[in-house]
Amino acid sequence: MLLFVRPLIFAGIGTFILSFATAAPADDKLVANGENISADLQETLLPLEDLRTFTDIFDRIKKAYVEPVDDKTLLENAIRGMLEGLDPHSVYLEKEAFDDLQENTKGEFGGLGLEVEMENGFVKVVSPIDDTPAIKAGIQSQDLILKIDDAPVKGMTLQEAVGLMRGEPGTKITLTIAREGETKPLVLTLTRDLIKVASIKSRSLEEGFGYIRITQFQVTTGDDLVKAIKKLHKENSPLKGLVLDLRNNPGGVLNAAVEVSDAFLNDGLIVYTKGRLPNSELRYSATPDDPSQQVPLVVLINGGSASASEIVAGALQDHHRAVIMGTESFGKGSVQTVLPLNNERALKLTTARYYTPNGRSIQAEGITPDINIENAKVTSLTTGSLRFKEADLKGHLEHIGDEKIKPNKSSSAKPNGHEMDLAETDFQLHEALNLLKGIYIIQRAQP
């Protein structure tokens, strides 16, 4: 989950730390005008003994390393190491990586279409993005990338690995992947492409029932969602139910998650964040406008649903606005603030945890669906078999009934080709549609 802030915030914090660090007395005691410095202020002081150790190591590397290393390289490596020791999402962004991050939030970038993170020295796939080379090659959430072409990933930084996977559209790249359940690594060859990610995709599953997929949360996602909802309402009179598909959605911009949640809620808290700095304490609430018109809603999630996806699923679950279906989500419940520096670089730093309206932290836990549905391959057991009904029996009584009362035959009373195709190609979506039909039937029967 990303927040973008102005350089002033970082500059203010940086100046504050530097000024007190350089003012520390040589005897390492924390004093100011003869008095003890407060505990809060003490946290901003740098320990001189550790600084001496750092400078000693710096000097020894400069003098004794087998090859000459310039000061800039050593300092930037030190910065990277400092951040890598915190958590997987705090990173130092050089110019190229910072540019890539800004491109990603706008929805257009070059590469393979993978959302990745570091885990135990390897690059782990959080989620492949729809309609990209990664999806076409069959890369899955939780895959571990062991090699990029002939280069082992072990020992690389995340930025180095991403840099190798980026390249000119049309060029080929080979990834060696470890996947749970596979006895040996998979070797996949992909062709790089210009990745243009449409944040929102929508269609009618069948008359009265709509489907909206969010591939990732971009700056325009909230507005695009509202347009998609209005379009489905117009195409279906009435709109009886809606599936919101957040599977394999790696997240994105915090404000977009809030806007998506707000499109289905008309009151109450959506999400709040807690951090150490005052400006990291944020609360977001729903507005009275409700473009969804409270249509019955099912939200699909899985292990590739992370961060912003979990904010939406958690808010709708806590407000009992939707039924959450699928499998447990990824469990990324932290907020990253992008702090631009004055040298075309930036710091992406974890600054807060976010919480659902009921106070749940999703960090390392994830969202547990209301109805757990694993994806499955389904085949019909009745295809080609003979079926007999009462009307097929010799000497059966003829139907006699009140012709004024005609049964209301639902389109789902007998499976059709479309339904069978959906069951075979996307079992979780098929079950979500069936649940919506059941909700509609019950609601229609109520006075």
Q: pLDDT digits over 370-423, tens only?
A: 999 998 888 777 655 667 788 888 888 888 876 655 555 544 444 454 566 888
Q: Are residues 311 and 166 in the same domain?
A: no
Confidence grade of residue 119 (pLDDT, cut at 50, 70, 90): confident
| Residue 32, pLDDT above cutoff 60 | no
pLDDT, residue 29, reads 35
Domain boundary among 171, 196, 221: 196
Q: What is d(CA 434, CA 441) in angstroms, rounded to the nearest whole number?
A: 11
Catalytic residue among 318, 329, 334, 348: 318
Q: Are residues 235 and 302 in the same domain?
A: yes
Q: Are residues 192 and 204 in the same domain?
A: no
Q: Are residues 139 and 286 in the same domain?
A: no
pLDDT, residue 421, reads 81
pLDDT, residue 404, reads 57
Q: Are residues 368 and 245 in the same domain?
A: yes
Task: Please indicate, yes or no, if residue 410 is contained in any of the structural domains.
Answer: no
Domain boundary among 155, 176, 196: 196
| Residue 8, pLDDT above cutoff 80 | no
Catalytic residue among 100, 199, 305, 332: 332
Please, what is the end-to-end C-alpha distance for the chain in angstroms?
44
pLDDT, residue 412, reads 44
Conformation bin of residue 331: beta by default, left when phi > 0, alpha when psi is -120 to 50: left
Residue 332 annotated to the active site = yes
Domain boundary among 372, 401, 433: 372
Catalytic residue among 199, 307, 309, 329: 307
Q: Are residues 273 and 248 in the same domain?
A: yes
pLDDT, residue 24, reads 34
Task: Please indicate, yes or no, if residue 279 is contained in any of the structural domains.
Answer: yes
What distances in angstroms separate CA 352 from CA 89, 218, 272, 360, 393, one per listed residue? 12, 20, 10, 14, 70
Here the CATH number for the domain that contains residue 316 is: 3.90.226.10
Q: Are residues 328 and 297 in the same domain?
A: yes
More reliable by pLDDT, 241 or 109 = 241
Task: Please indicate, yes or no, if residue 69 is contained in any of the structural domains.
Answer: no
pLDDT, residue 44, reads 63
Task: Give the Cα-Cα-Cα angle 387, 389, 392 (nearest 5 degrees).
Answer: 100
Q: Are residues 134 and 116 in the same domain?
A: yes
Q: pLDDT digits over 356-379, tens only?
A: 999 999 999 999 999 999 988 887
Residue 270: its H or E element = strand 269-275
Confidence grade of residue 30 (pLDDT, cut at 50, 70, 90): very low
| Residue 278, pLDDT above cutoff 70 | yes
Residue 285 annotated to the active site = no
Domain that holds residue 324: 200-334+351-372
Q: pLDDT digits over 328-357, tens only?
A: 999 999 998 888 998 788 999 999 999 999
Task: Please indicate, yes or no, if residue 132 is contained in any of the structural domains.
Answer: yes
Q: Are residues 273 and 363 in the same domain?
A: yes
Q: What is d(CA 120, CA 57) in angstroms, rounded to the nearest whole number?
A: 25
Percent of the chain residues past pLDDT 90, beyond the cut: 58
| Residue 148, pLDDT above cutoff 50 | yes
Percent of the chain residues past pLDDT 70, beyond the cut: 83
What does the CA dihedral 294, 300, 304, 306 come to, rounded to 10 degrees? Answer: 20
> Which of 12-16, 20-24, 179-183, 391-395 holds the top average pLDDT?
179-183
Q: Are residues 259 and 357 in the same domain?
A: yes
Here the CATH number for the domain that contains residue 184 is: 2.30.42.10
Q: Are residues 168 and 286 in the same domain?
A: no
**Total domains present in the chain:** 2
pLDDT, residue 42, reads 59
Maximum Cα–Cα distance across the chain: 110
Residue 318 annotated to the active site = yes
Query: Contact at 8 Å (CB) between 130 and 201?
Result: yes
Q: Are residues 149 and 280 in the same domain?
A: no
Task: Please indicate, yes or no, if residue 214 is contained in any of the structural domains.
Answer: yes
